């Protein structure tokens, strides 16, 4: 004889737990949706708009671009016209290629100099116990001042009648003022000073977590301080070096303010070319094509680097 069994109803505690798990799962999707929405609104949509403009032609209109879509009322036909002449002209005119190469060169040299200056500072802050937060505050303090004012301040330092030349003349080190403003040297000074915190903070984050027992073990095994740094500290700080280098290199490639105020007429960077195309020549399609190509040149190496890091991490695990 078959007996019917009544289904067991979950207890109040089990129902509460199930509802909590369901809410957490929904909340997880909500948390992920926030940065995704931000990327869509402030990266993908603007990128699509710029890419659309780059496929149009210059026109005497407001905005000064031709429409990609056309309508033939007689045949009731919608036409799509994609103009690739802007991208073709990039490779025909050496100005744009020289600007790309010059921007990459200046960004790479500036990144190396910034790393050489920032690494000892980050290491000192990480190893300092008593004055760590004071030193961190001094690193972050420049962010409280306008970026433009800081660049203008360097113009006062580097001018022929500026602070540096006056000090050198008073000490008798030089006989006539040095011509520093309007050179690549001034651009490097401005870039390194401006982006130094972006290199220090990622390095500090990694070095602060460094296990001091590793340094003690290296010393106990007879390693000299420089050998400990080369074989223990430096390899462990590579993630911070990569993060800081990207935070400096990427914005410097498209930098406009520092080369314009501190550089000379021979300081060719892609940011100045973009400004001239947008506002001087009023050639929005050409400027958009320049921006798209620059973005591709920056994104592809980042994707490759990220892939290499993921593969290396999978091998280590």
Q: What is the Cα gyration radius of the chain?
A: 28
CA distance 284 to 126: 47
CB-based contact 125:271 (threshold 8 Å)? no
The Cβ-side half-sphere exposure at 297, using a 13 Å CA radius, reads 17
In the prediction, which pLDDT does 1 show? 47
Calculate helix-pair angle for 94-127, 284-316, nearest 10 degrees.
40
In the prediction, which pLDDT does 266 show? 80
Q: Which two tokens stand for residue 139?
A: 């690193």
In the prediction, which pLDDT does 113 show? 97
pTM > 0.75: yes or no: yes
In the prediction, which pLDDT does 14 show? 66
Rounding to the nearest 10 degrees, give the CA dihedral for residues 252, 257, 260, 266: 10
Each residue's pLDDT tens digit in the chain (317 positions)?
A: 455 555 556 666 666 666 666 655 666 666 677 778 888 888 889 889 999 999 998 887 778 888 887 776 666 677 778 888 899 998 888 889 999 999 999 999 999 999 999 999 999 999 888 888 899 999 988 888 888 899 999 998 998 888 899 998 998 888 888 888 888 899 999 999 999 999 999 999 999 988 888 888 888 888 888 888 888 889 999 989 988 999 999 999 989 999 999 988 788 899 888 888 888 888 999 999 999 998 888 887 777 777 777 776 777 66
In the prediction, which pLDDT does 285 show? 92
């Amino acid at each position: 004889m078959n007996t019917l069994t009544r289904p067991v109803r979950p207890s109040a505690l089990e129902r509460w737990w199930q509802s909590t798990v369901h809410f957490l799962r929904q909340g997880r999707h909500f948390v992920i949706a926030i940065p995704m929405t931000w990327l869509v609104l402030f990266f993908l949509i603007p990128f699509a708009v710029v890419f659309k403009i780059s496929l149009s032609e210059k026109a005497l209109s407001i905005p000064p671009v031709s429409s990609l879509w056309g309508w033939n009322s007689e045949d009731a036909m919608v036409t799509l016209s994609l103009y690739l002449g802007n991208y073709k002209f990039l490779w025909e005119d050496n100005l744009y290629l020289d600007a790309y190469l010059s921007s990459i060169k200046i960004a790479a040299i500036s990144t190396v100099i910034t790393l050489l200056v920032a690494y000892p500072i980050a290491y000192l802050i990480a190893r300092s116990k008593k004055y760590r937060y004071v030193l961190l505050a001094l690193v972050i303090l420049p962010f409280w001042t306008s970026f433009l004012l800081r660049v203008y301040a360097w113009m006062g330092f580097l001018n022929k009648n500026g602070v540096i030349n006056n000090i050198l003349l008073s000490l008798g080190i030089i006989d006539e003022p040095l011509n520093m403003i309007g050179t690549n040297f001034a651009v490097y000074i401005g870039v390194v000073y401006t982006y130094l915190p972006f290199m220090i903070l990622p390095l500090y984050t990694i070095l602060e977590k460094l296990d001091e027992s590793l340094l003690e073990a290296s010393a106990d095994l007879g390693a000299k301080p420089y050998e400990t740094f080369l074989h223990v500290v430096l390899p462990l700080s590579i993630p911070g070096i990569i993060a800081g280098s990207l935070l400096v290199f990427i914005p410097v490639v498209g930098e406009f303010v520092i080369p314009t105020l501190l550089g000379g007429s021979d300081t060719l960077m892609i940011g100045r070319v973009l400004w001239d195309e947008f506002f001087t020549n009023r050639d929005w399609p050409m400027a958009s094509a320049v921006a798209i190509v620059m973005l591709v040149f920056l994104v592809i190496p980042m994707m490759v680097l990220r892939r290499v890091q993921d593969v290396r991490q999978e091998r280590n695990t």
